[in-house]
Amino acid sequence: MKWYIDKGPESDVILSSRIRLARNLQGYPFPNRMTREASAKLGKEVLNSLKQRTDHSKGKFRTLEMSELGSEDKLALVERHLISEELTDPGLVRYAYISDDESVSVMINEEDHIRIQAMEAGLKLEEAYKAASDIAIHLEKTLQVGYSEKYGFTTACPSNTGTGMRASVIMHLPALTMTEKAGTVVEKIRKMGYSVRGYYGEHSSVQGSMFQISNQITLGLGEEELIVDLKKLISHIAEQERTARKQLSSKSPDLIEDRIFRAIGVLKYARKLSSEETLQLISEVRLGKALGIIDKPDEVNFNRIMSSIGPANIQKSEGRIMEPPERDKARALLVQREMEGV
């Protein structure tokens, strides 16, 4: 079972939690100054160590050499948050090492030599941290990991130095968005030193009221403190969203119901759907579910739709390259199937 086909804690507001740890090896330049030969050698060394792990709690892992994948396959992995766009750059020999349930992936030769990431449904930062740090500790014990007593773990960019940790949470904030409070909330989050991005991460814009919030500080605070601080902030925003939802449904119940049922109508009967429109409609139906206006579909369906509607994933499931109009048609069919019985 894939990790995202799960309903985690506080799933009414929180879609998923993710921890990313950056590590580098001594004796090799960072990927921005590395030769192709060195990147291949380092890749083998890291993969050898990863394959020696005796902890099989996340199931089997598969190894993907990026240059052996087609561009659609690579993009499909990007859309599912398993790898970053940078890993698809052909300059170096790059690998992804991905667990069966897709909750854990290790990128080799991205901006740093090693980027470990662990994802969980709902608010589960501690669990994600444990999964990621288990792998990090294994690598630290078996390889010459770059570390300085003063600065902690060394990284290519000084914005990651120290813990090398980025903790992020994807939040669904439709009520704050509708009541135009989201802007102020986002401003406050930024002032507190956190970054806010869209569902598809770096460079992506906010779609479907999905916000990705993560720490920017990595040095000067411990991993636990960073996680506790982020959780405090997240809980605070979640409460604001819940209050806004209550106010919305008590002040203008007809308006809300109308929006939700219209969204269901389009998702069920549209013959063409763009990914952006789908995300927006899913956002409204998800709100309806959280408010108790509808009792289907489940979070599971939402999560599955969201992980499969990206352009590359649509083409992958159809097994061929498709033009946008064709993709929109295939997407509408896929959504229709998920919405059956709603």
Q: Segment 128-147, which members bind another protein (CB under 8 A)?
A: 129-130, 133, 137, 140-147
Give the shortest CB-29-to-another protein separation in angstroms: 4
Encoded amino acid at 143, one letter: L
Least distance from another protein to the Cβ atom of residue 241, Å: 14
Q: Binder to another protein among 58, 74, 124, 197 (CB under 8 A)? A: 197
Among positions 69, 221, 293, 294, the unique one binding another protein when judged by CB under 8 A = 221
Q: Which is nearer to another protein, 189 or 264 (CB)?
A: 189
Q: Are 38 and 158 in contact (CB under 8 A)?
A: no
Which is nearer to another protein, 71 or 148 (by Cβ)? 148
In the bound state with another protein, the residue whose beta carbon lies nearer, of 24 and 308, is 24
Single out the segment in contact with another protein by CB under 8 A; choices: 61-69, 76-84, 151-159, 333-341: 151-159
- Find the part of the chain contacting another protein (CB under 8 A) among 7-15, 210-218, 268-276, 312-320: 210-218
**Cα–Cα separations (whole angstroms), residue 112 to 25, 26, 39, 79:** 9, 12, 11, 21
The residue range among 194-202, 240-248, 255-263, 303-311 that interacts with another protein, by the rule CB under 8 A, is 194-202
CB of 143 to another protein, least distance (A): 7
Which tokens go with 295?
A: 């009792």
CB-CB neighbours of 32 under 10 Å: 11
CB 67 to another protein: min, Å? 23
Q: Is the dihedral of CA 312, 314, 316, 322 positive or negative?
A: negative
Cβ distance to another protein smaller for residue 69 or 221: 221
Window of 173-181, 246-254, 271-279, 326-334 that interacts with another protein by CB under 8 A: 173-181
To which H or E segment does residue 327 belong? helix 324-338
User: For another protein, which residue of 224, 239, 258, 276 counts as binding (CB under 8 A)?
Assistant: 224
CA–CA distance, 78 with 85 (Å, rounded to integer): 6
User: What are the distances in angstroms from CA 117 to CA 34, 45, 222?
Assistant: 23, 19, 18
Contacts of 98 (CB under 8 A, 6+ apart): 61, 62, 64, 77, 82, 104, 105, 106
If binding is defined by CB under 8 A, does position 198 make contact with another protein? yes
* Contact positions with another protein (CB under 8 A) in 22-41: 24-26, 28-30, 32-33
* 162 in contact with another protein (CB under 8 A): yes
| Residue ranges in 90-129 that form contacts with another protein under rule CB under 8 A | 111, 126, 129
Q: What is the nearest approach in angstroms of another protein to the Cβ of residue 32?
A: 5
Q: Which of 9, 59, 70, 158 lies at the binding interface for another protein (CB under 8 A)?
A: 158
| Cis status of the peptide bond prior to 174, with omega within 30 of 0 | no
Say if CB 300 and CB 306 are below 8 A apart.
Answer: no
Query: Site for another protein (CB under 8 A): which residue of 71, 159, 243, 247?
Result: 159
Q: What is the CA radius of gyration of the chain?
A: 21
Q: Are 297 and 281 spatial neighbours (Cβ–Cβ below 8 Å)? A: no
**Which residues in 222-252 are b (16+ Cβ under 10 Å) and which e?**
ebeebbebbbebbeebbebbbebbeebbeee
Contact code string over 46-75 relative to another protein, x by CB under 8 A:
--------xx--------------------
Rule CB under 8 A: choose which of 60, 150, 271, 337 binds another protein: 150
Which residues have CB under 8 Å from 96's CB, separation 6+? 63, 64, 66, 77, 82, 83, 87, 105, 106, 107, 108
Report the nearest approach of another protein to the CB of residue 208 (Å).
12
Residue number, 33 or 60, with CB nearest to another protein: 33
